[in-house]
Amino acid sequence: MKALKLLILLLAASYADPGFSNITGSDLQNFNATTNGIDFVTVQSSETLAPGVFNLGLFANYAVNTLPRYEDTTTGRNSKVSDSILAADFNIGYGLASFWDVGISFPQVVAQDVKIEGSRGEFGQKGLTEIRANSKFRLYGDREGGIAFIVSGNMNVTKNNPYVGEGGGPTVNFELAADTTISKLALGLNLGYRKRSPGDKIADFPIAPLQDQYIVSVAASYLVQSIDTKFIAEWYAGYPTKETETVESRSVTSAEALLGIKHDISDQLALHVGVGSEMSNGTASADWRVYLGLNYAFGFDDSSVVSHIVRPKKPVKKGEPPAPPKFMPEQEGPQETPGGDEVFVLRGVNFAFDSASRVLPGTREVLSRLAEHLKKNPFQKIIIEGHTDSVGSAEYNQNLGQSRAETIRNYLIRAGKFDPSCLEAKSYGESKPIADNGNYQGRQLNRRVVFRLFYKH
């Protein structure tokens, strides 16, 4: 219910009054947090939100010296603080399929302070400046990285925007995102083309509408699992395909860099904080900026989903029983390491977060079906492994995994009337992840119970 209320609040915010101005639209705002909230801050990785997962984001950034002067001076932009803008972005992301997510953003001007003397640009009022939408398709990938194709668009709603022009249309971006992971270090690269639909030059402005651009960005993040925190560095830039008229103090080429952290407050809530600075004196580039953001993820409750793995067996000799039938079909997703004649994995959130005893709906039904399967196929031994995500200390998660494995063991003994000496409960805690502990959906996959079945031959 809380998540639904937050979603309604974000949607309501999108209907705020549009900003009237005579300056840049926020498609030139270089700080644009991703709508899916995965891996980095503004740079896209190849990973998409899992089917049914929502990500709600709220980011605020305070930028100094971004507004244009229409009368150049020799003092330079860095001599003093001449303007500042407090902006906010409301983001919504949603996973449609295992390879496809979509998102929408509603950038807002919250406040501005303009100290520029003479002819300059500034927002006429606070409110919505544009609407951004995006769609990401993962072309290839696994837990170590991959490649994705991204299409996004920006619809300007700022009036008298000289960088868009009179009657200008939407901007469409085409990008390829690639990433790879080396231990706890994730690296990302985005390359793309920004196709603009410029309108006519607005009279009395010394600025012409911007033309198409090449866009590029790179990122690196390092996960310190013991403190549930990622340290992130990014660099992003846009290069025009041809020069357009602008003031001498602002190039139409822009580039910024940022340093930040992402801390997982809980299983679902992540805090972002960081700083950024211009790398070239470009359009809408800030001398410096600070940002603060929250991402809240929910959905993807598939505690009843079981992944089934059958290990190769030697040819059946005369007199030996045939291989047992499959309990459930194999599902997509990360697989376990070998071990046992059959392996069943309760995937997703089969326990409530931070709980060893509260099994979520659907899991009991699966365990009952598993018990029926075992009664039909006599086994010699079952090892029940408890696995957790990394939120919390290693010692805490080790104990939590053991408690969860023992809860399942006791359930099978009680409901299935199995010999307790044939069922072993074992914990690996957070030590054997099968997905990224740095995001919500990866942590869901890591919270699992693995059953390794050894049959009598």
* Segment 79-106, tens digit of pLDDT: 576 788 899 999 999 999 989 999 999 9
Res. 12: pLDDT tops 60: no
Res. 46: pLDDT tops 90: yes
**Which one is predicted more confidently, 83 or 383?**
383
Which domains does the chain show, CATH number per domain? 2-299 (2.40.160.40), 306-455 (3.30.1330.60)
Residue 35: what pLDDT? 95
Res. 276: pLDDT tops 70: yes
Mean pLDDT of 108-112: 88
Residue 66: what pLDDT? 79
Percent of the residues in the chain that have a pLDDT greater than 70, as a whole number? 74
Tokens 């992840």 found at: 433
The length of the chain, given as a count of residues? 457
**Which one is predicted more confidently, 201 or 232?**
232
How many Å apart are CA 149 and CA 191, to the nearest integer?
A: 10
Res. 125: pLDDT tops 90: no
pLDDT digits (tens, 9 = 90+) for 386-398: 888 888 888 888 9
Mean pLDDT of 367-390: 84
**Which one is predicted more confidently, 301 or 417?**
417
Phi, psi values for residue 227, rounded to 5°:
-120, 10
Percent of the residues in the chain that have a pLDDT greater than 90, as a whole number? 28
Degrees, nearest 5: CA angle 160-163-164: 70
Res. 314: pLDDT tops 90: no
- Centre a 10 Å sphere on the Cβ of residue 84 and count the other Cβ atoms it contains: 19
* Band (2; pLDDT cuts 50, 70, 90): very low
Res. 123: pLDDT tops 80: no
Q: What is the dihedral of CA 200, 69, 288, 14, to 10 degrees?
A: -40
**Which one is predicted more confidently, 225 or 318?**
225
Residue 120: what pLDDT? 66
Strands (E), 311-395: 342-346, 379-387
Average pLDDT, the chain: 78
Residue 75: what pLDDT? 46
Residue 316: what pLDDT? 44
Residue 168: what pLDDT? 81
pTM, whole model, 2 decimals? 0.78
* Band (197; pLDDT cuts 50, 70, 90): confident
How many Å apart are CA 128 and CA 89, to the nearest integer?
A: 9
Mean pLDDT of 392-416: 86
Res. 187: pLDDT tops 80: yes
Res. 274: pLDDT tops 80: yes
Mean pLDDT of 418-430: 89
